[in-house]
Amino acid sequence: MLEERVLAIQDVKVYFERRERLIGRKTVIHAVDGVTLVLGRGETLSLVGESGSGKSTLARTVLKLNTPVEGAILFHNQDIFKQDRRQSKAYRRRVQMIFQDPYESLNPQSTVFNAVTEPRVIHGLASDRSEKEEAASRLLALVGLDPSTKLYRYPHELSGGERQRVAIARALSLEPELLVADEPVSMLDVSIRLGVLNLLQTLKQNLNLTYLVITHDLGVARYIGTRIAVMYFGQIVEIAETDELINNPKHHYTNLLLSSIPGTENPQPLAAGADVDFSYSAAEPPSGCRFHTRCPMAQEKCASIVPKLTEIANGHFAACHYPLTK
């Protein structure tokens, strides 16, 4: 299916421990609980799911900002958690992140010039002034900003859309292969979101990039994604080509998500299972299929046996004992 594997996430589990001092009880948050994913070169994989489903944790783990308790992440077949210092630095150059909030991800005391050249200085790609200026101008032009007017601006002098473009330029400054974008447009105004999404598309083609995009917005996922993976309670419940997933969902949770999309174009009413069951949390997830407490089709088996992510149709995987049929 995929020509070249850029990233392979293998049964990754990321847990956080929380100690409640007064009671002395230890709770373990199962933020990501056994995720397996493969990203092919040139692909855009969108991770969707509700807040708390573990999508950001998974993304941060790819960036080595979290360490998994189990499983491995391979980048070009090399385990990123078994790298030496030099390999690790090289990896960090090839994988970059775009954060959600450009108001927080840029240093307010640092000019655009500094923001986009500092990574290059740290990685020894630029040393003298002219080299830096050349690189900065090129990067700004790449993201659709005019270097002659924006290069020496501070973040507060830029609009939200311009800031996010600077953040993208900084991510590109190290010529990465893989960009991880965590809700790249959700903080932006509606009228400028599309400009940033279109920019990401153009950059991907021109620079031969691979994207892992985290979004809660299925419209955004569909607009930029080649495939969509749906997360629920730290696990992937369904993964398929974008239109296949939207037109032909197999997992009942995906179906619920789709049925809740607002707007008059939505062909179906809200599916069953919308009510959240509070007796469970990431510290104590439900047994068996984690959606069984809400699922309209749940049978006995669903409460006891964890469904495996299996291929139902070509390239379409779902983790459900009783998948939807059309």
Partner 1 sequence: MTANPSTRGQEGDQVLDIRNLTVSYKTESGYVKAVDDVSFTVNKGEILGLAGESACGKTTTALSIMRLLAPNAVVNGQILFDNKDVLQMPEDELRNFRWKGVSLIPQGSMNSLDPVIQVGKQIVEAIRAHESVSRADAWKTTEKLLSSVSIHPTRAKNYPHEFSGGMKQRAVTAMALALNPRLVIADEPTTALDVVVQKQLLLVLRNLQKSLGISFIFVSHDLSVIGEIADRVAVMYAGKIVEIGRKDMVLKHPSHPYTQALVNSVPKVFGNRQLLESIPGSPPTGVWPEGCRFHPRCKFVFDLCRQKEPELQLAATGCLAACHLVSKTDREEIVLK
Contact stretch for partner 1 (CB under 8 A) within 60-68, 125-133, 215-223, 303-311: 215-223
248 binds partner 1 (CB under 8 A): no
| Cβ 19 to partner 1 shortest distance, Å | 19
Question: Do 295 and 289 meet the contact criterion of CB atoms below 8 Å apart?
Answer: yes
| Cβ 114 to partner 1 shortest distance, Å | 23
22 binds partner 1 (CB under 8 A): no
Among 260, 287, 297, 306, binds partner 1 (CB under 8 A): 260
Phi, psi of 181 (to 5 degrees): -115, 120
Q: Kindly give the interhelix angle for 190-207 and 160-172, rounded to the nearest 10 degrees.
A: 20
Q: Please, what's the b/e burial string for 149-163 (b: 16 or more CB within 10 A of its CB; e: otherwise)?
A: ebbebebeebebbbb
Cβ closest to partner 1, residue 274 vs residue 303: 274
The amino acid at residue 137 is S
CA–CA dist 268, 85 (Å, integer): 52
274 binds partner 1 (CB under 8 A): yes
| Cβ-based neighbours of 256, under 8 Å, separated by 6 or more | 270, 271, 272, 273, 274, 294
Number of residues that bind partner 1 (CB under 8 A): 41
243 binds partner 1 (CB under 8 A): yes
Contact stretch for partner 1 (CB under 8 A) within 39-47, 92-100, 212-220, 315-323: 212-220
200 binds partner 1 (CB under 8 A): no
Among 128, 205, 263, 325, binds partner 1 (CB under 8 A): 263
Cβ closest to partner 1, residue 24 vs residue 262: 262
CA–CA dist 66, 15 (Å, integer): 9
246 binds partner 1 (CB under 8 A): yes
Contact stretch for partner 1 (CB under 8 A) within 2-10, 112-120, 167-175, 272-280: 272-280
Cβ closest to partner 1, residue 50 vs residue 118: 50
168 binds partner 1 (CB under 8 A): no
Q: Quick check: helix, strand or coil at residue 302?
A: helix
Helices (H), 46-184: 55-62, 85-94, 112-122, 129-142, 147-150, 160-172
Paired sense of beta strands 316-318 and 310-313, if any:
antiparallel
| Cβ 207 to partner 1 shortest distance, Å | 19
CA–CA dist 39, 145 (Å, integer): 30
Among 2, 122, 141, 194, binds partner 1 (CB under 8 A): 194
Question: Do 299 and 322 meet the contact criterion of CB atoms below 8 Å apart?
Answer: yes
- For tokens 């200026």, name the residue: 133
Among 24, 108, 124, 267, binds partner 1 (CB under 8 A): 267
- Tell me the Cα Rg of the chain: 21
Residues forming the site for partner 1 (CB under 8 A): 50-51, 159-162, 189-195, 197-198, 216-220, 222-223, 243, 246, 256-267, 270, 274-276, 278
